[in-house]
Structure 1
Amino acid sequence: MARLSLTARLTLLFALGSSAVLLVLGWLVGMAVNHHFEQQDFDALAGKLQLAQHAIERVSAKNELDALPSQLQDALIGHQDLAVQIVGPGGEVLLQTPGVVFPAERLAMAPTRLTGRLFQWEHDGRSFRGTALKVATATPQSSMVVVAVGLDIGHHQMFIHNLMRALWVFVACAALAMGFIGWLAASRGLAPLRSMRAQLTDMTAHRLHERLPETAVPPELAELTASLNAMLERLQDAFKRLSDFSSDIAHELRTPISNLMTETQVALSRSRDADSYRATLESNAEEYERLARMIADMLLLAKAEYGQMGDWIAAHGERVDLAQEVRNLFDFYEALAEDKGVRLELQGACQVWGDRLMLRRAVSNLLSNALRYTPQGGAVRVELGVEGERALLVVENPGPTIDAAHLPHLFERFYRADPSRQQATGEGTGLGLAITQAVVQAHGGSIQASSDNGLTRFSMALPVKQT
């Protein structure tokens, strides 16, 4: 059953269900017809039995009892399918229809009052249905006479046999017809599924923008269609991000590799002294370090994509004092801040649950970014606080206002709101904010950026308790 198609399953179930209903209906019809014939036979036999009873109850002498058979024969003449047997008080047979023998045990068990029950028996290949009754005569001894009457029911049985055979033939034909109708209904009903399958079969990476029509399917398939469209949208987004990432990484790797190749080729173009070779190797080492950082950052982002960071945090998380971590980072960036003439300020305190090193790297990326763009004499402010079940960390710095069109893209990989400045300084890999967002999301938090009136603000919200 598990290997059958939906059309075959529905057709089979429809045929079996309709066949069962028709079989029960045929059985009920057969039972009703048989009961009708039994009632009809009982009415006919009861009338004849009452006629015989009336005649026997009037017998008051022996000679009248001897004349009883001839009287009953005259009264029952014309009934060819009727069988009669009368047994006298001494067990002698007073009257018996030729060729018909009533069951002796039924005659011995004959009641004294007429009941609605008939008995059935066979004799010489013929089937009979009858009843018996003990009747008291009007003689002084009140002798009991047994009267039995029966009907040949062969024609009834033949009718029922032919009727049931016709019913079973009809049931078989009707089952085949209902199976065919069920197949048509299933085929028509599953047509939208076949259409969806055809559209999904033709779906390629270049057609992920197409969607299945939700208005052209039955209500039962509307939710499935919506789910498939949502899946296609996720696939399109993932494919786009993967394509963009591949393009960006190829672009980012091309520059340092090109620099390495150029410097190496220049160094090999002619013989040089040891100091020249050393300078070339030092320059190459810087490019290698940049490549190593970029690859490590991409591996970290790949782990975040597959949820491995979240699993690590769930297994190894701890209570982290953000104020202490920020003060440690201030000590690390103190020399750079003094060199640029920038103040570092901390306000507030809070604790969160998570991975200490990951959170430190996320905050470090924000501080490094803020120090890079804060003008001399400005201040980088870090504000900590708690709102409900969330801890807030805000990094704020003065500097060039970021255009509103760039804000939604700041956390994308390799995205730079100021590409010319990045290329000029050669700092960073363009993955800092993407890593920060990945760390925050792995902790179950969120991060937002805003910039107006020469003030840029990054706001992180992290859960205070383990989620």
Structure 2
Amino acid sequence: MTQRFSLTTRLTLFYTLASATVLLGLGWVTSLAMNQHFEDLDRSLLEDKIHLIQEVATKANSPQDLQNRLNEVLHSHEGLIVHVQISGKTLYETAKFELPNGYAGAVGTDLKSQKMQSWQSAGHQYRALGMLINSELQNDEPLAVWVALDTKLHDHFQTHFQTTLMLYVTLATLFSGVLGWMAANRGLAPLRIMRTRAQAVTSNKLEERMPVEAVPVEMADLAGTLNDMLDRLQEDFRRLSEFSSDLAHELRTPISNLLTETQVTLSAKRSNEDYQDVLASNSEELQRLARMVSDMLFLAKTEHGLALPSRESIAVEVEARALFDFYEALASDKDILLELVGSGTVGGDRLMLRRALSNLLSNALRHASPGTVVSIEIQSGEGVEVTVSNHGPSISPEMLPRLFDRFFRVDKSRTHPESDGAGLGLAITRAIMAAHGGGISVTSTSGVTRFTLRFPKSESLVQE
């Protein structure tokens, strides 16, 4: 299994490796520059000695005179080796040494064009230059002059310098690693703060947030995104808690009614008619539970994206008139007039559209004042808007955003003698509109409440 390193360790290792690379590169460049510098110095020294020998050779009267003169000018130069030949015979030499193979015949009269040779012999490193010098000593034969320099002093200095440099690079790399760890540890401190805050978030403590202002700019976006996520989680958790409480309350009432009525009936002998009445009452409660469960299953599907069972072109005014026929008796009992204005065609599922309109129409009839008008107004344009309005008590503005929550009722007493609904109608309507690619909104001012359904263009919906 591959070992996982912390981000601090990774940054420290990266910083240490980068520092070591830079320091080693700097040391390598320095060594190259120093070696080139010594090479230039050695060549300059060798050229000076050749010029000196050339000057001495022009003044010498005989080979013996040349030897004497060279002894006088060269005896004090430590590490310098001079070898002079004439006609293949050694005329003068300061010490015995062997020229590298092929070098003896590689000399010419142009000193600048001569390549400085380097070689090792008997544990010593040499650099040498050679040149042919014109002379009048022996039948105008040129002198073959080789000047070599033992570079042991340079080598000793470079070896000492490289050892010191490696020691410095090693210590500097370790020091850089420590600094890198301190910088990474300090730089990642905001992440540890964020981790601590995140660990403090529990189901009972969702108000913790990331310190956006206290973290570097690079982490501010992450902290802000996490705060947004926590806001959504807190809101969803609140809604889920309320939903669970409401669901338990809604289920408790019919179950309690069923249990109480059944226990009372079984407590004594009853006639067949009494049993039939109890069963009929239980059937109503069970039907209400079944509708509630069906609605909950429908809403659960919307959490994962509700797909339309079928798509077709629907004339909204036709569906509205069919609903008017169904609710006409209820409207007459409450002395309410039903009114339809406009027409329009939408694309979608007919049964789902009728259910959405039915939820709004039944809700409008339930809360409309006697002697008023409940209207459905249809407008066509960029899309189709269907507005269901009624006259009655206004809904407070703070309640409007929550009307589409599950089990939410403006009436907190939960007493609804005129309806057996569970407070899911508007939530289902919003889910149906979302499935159609539209939306729903509500306004309530001056005693008039309006629910507006907005459908997209039929062409765009069919193309999806």
**Shorter chain as normaliser: what TM range?**
over 0.9
Structure 2 residue 400 is matched with structure 1 residue 402: no
SS at match of 1:270: coil
Q: What aligned pairs does 1:355-434 form with structure 2 within 5 A after superposition?
A: 355-388=349-382, 390-418=383-411, 422-434=415-427
The Cα of 1:35 is off from its aligned counterpart by 1.4
User: Is the 8 Å Cα contact of residues 128 and 149 (structure 2) preserved in structure 1?
Assistant: yes
Q: Structure 1 residues 331, 58: CA separation in 2 closer, same or farther (over 3 Å shift)?
A: farther
SS at match of 1:94: strand
Give, as a single letter, the amino acid of the residue that structure 2 aligns with 1:86.
Answer: V
User: Is the 8 Å Cα contact of residues 288 and 420 (structure 2) preserved in structure 1?
Assistant: no
The Cα of 1:429 is off from its aligned counterpart by 1.4
CA–CA distance in structure 1, aligned partners of residues 372 and 3 of structure 2: 72
* Corresponding residue of 2:155: 157
Match of 1:237 among 222, 235, 238: 235
* Corresponding residue of 2:440: 447
User: Is the 8 Å Cα contact of residues 57 and 135 (structure 1) preserved in structure 2?
Assistant: no
Give, as a single letter, the amino acid of the residue that structure 2 aligns with 1:69.
Answer: Q
Q: What aligned pairs does 1:176-195 form with structure 2 within 5 A after superposition?
A: 176-195=174-193
Q: How many residues align?
A: 458
Give, as a single letter, the amino acid of the residue that structure 2 aligns with 1:27.
Answer: W
* Corresponding residue of 1:342: 336
Q: What aligned pairs does 1:106-185 form with structure 2 within 5 A after superposition?
A: 106-115=103-112, 117-138=115-136, 142-185=140-183
* Corresponding residue of 2:345: 351
The Cα of 1:156 is off from its aligned counterpart by 0.7
* Corresponding residue of 1:33: 34
* Corresponding residue of 2:46: 45
User: Is the 8 Å Cα contact of residues 198 and 208 (structure 2) preserved in structure 1?
Assistant: no
Structure 2 length-normalised TM: 0.92
CA–CA distance in structure 2, aligned partners of residues 286 and 338 of structure 1: 25
* Corresponding residue of 1:330: 324
Residue-by-residue CA offset, 1:248-282 (whole Å, 9 max, x unaligned): 11111111111100110111111112111111111
User: Is the 8 Å Cα contact of residues 85 and 96 (structure 1) preserved in structure 2?
Assistant: yes
CA–CA distance in structure 2, aligned partners of residues 140 and 84 of structure 1: 20
Residue-by-residue CA offset, 1:323-350 (whole Å, 9 max, x unaligned): 3332333333344334544333222222
SS at match of 1:425: coil
User: Is the 8 Å Cα contact of residues 347 and 382 (structure 1) preserved in structure 2?
Assistant: yes
Match of 1:459 among 432, 452, 457: 452
SS at match of 1:308: coil
* Corresponding residue of 1:5: 6
Residue-by-residue CA offset, 1:92-111 (whole Å, 9 max, x unaligned): 22222323222241121112
Structure 1 length-normalised TM: 0.92
Residue-by-residue CA offset, 1:303-334 (whole Å, 9 max, x unaligned): 22x2321xx14x95554433333233333334
Root-mean-square deviation over aligned CA pairs: 2.3
CA–CA distance in structure 2, aligned partners of residues 255 and 12 of structure 1: 66
The Cα of 1:376 is off from its aligned counterpart by 4.2
- The answer for unaligned runs of 5 or more in structure 1 is none
* Corresponding residue of 2:98: 101
Q: Runs (4+) of structure 1 moved beyond 6 Å?
A: none
CA–CA distance in structure 2, aligned partners of residues 399 and 104 of structure 1: 118
* Corresponding residue of 1:227: 225
User: Is the 8 Å Cα contact of residues 58 and 138 (structure 1) preserved in structure 2?
Assistant: no
Match of 2:315 among 313, 318, 321: 321
Q: Structure 1 residues 428, 185: CA separation in 2 closer, same or farther (over 3 Å shift)?
A: same
Give, as a single letter, the amino acid of the residue that structure 2 aligns with 1:373.
Answer: H
User: Is the 8 Å Cα contact of residues 299 and 431 (structure 2) preserved in structure 1?
Assistant: yes
Q: What aligned pairs does 1:241-252 form with structure 2 within 5 A after superposition?
A: 241-252=239-250
Give, as a single letter, the amino acid of the residue that structure 2 aligns with 1:128.
Answer: Y
CA–CA distance in structure 2, aligned partners of residues 402 and 98 of structure 1: 118
The Cα of 1:412 is off from its aligned counterpart by 1.9
- The answer for unaligned runs of 5 or more in structure 2 is none
CA–CA distance in structure 1, aligned partners of residues 252 and 165 of structure 2: 84
Q: Structure 1 residues 179, 420: CA separation in 2 closer, same or farther (over 3 Å shift)?
A: closer
% identical aligned pairs: 44
Give, as a single letter, the amino acid of the residue that structure 1 aligns with 2:352.
Answer: M
Q: Structure 1 residues 93, 331: CA separation in 2 closer, same or farther (over 3 Å shift)?
A: farther
SS at match of 1:86: strand
Q: Structure 1 residues 201, 339: CA separation in 2 closer, same or farther (over 3 Å shift)?
A: same
Residue-by-residue CA offset, 1:142-172 (whole Å, 9 max, x unaligned): 4232111011101111110111111111111
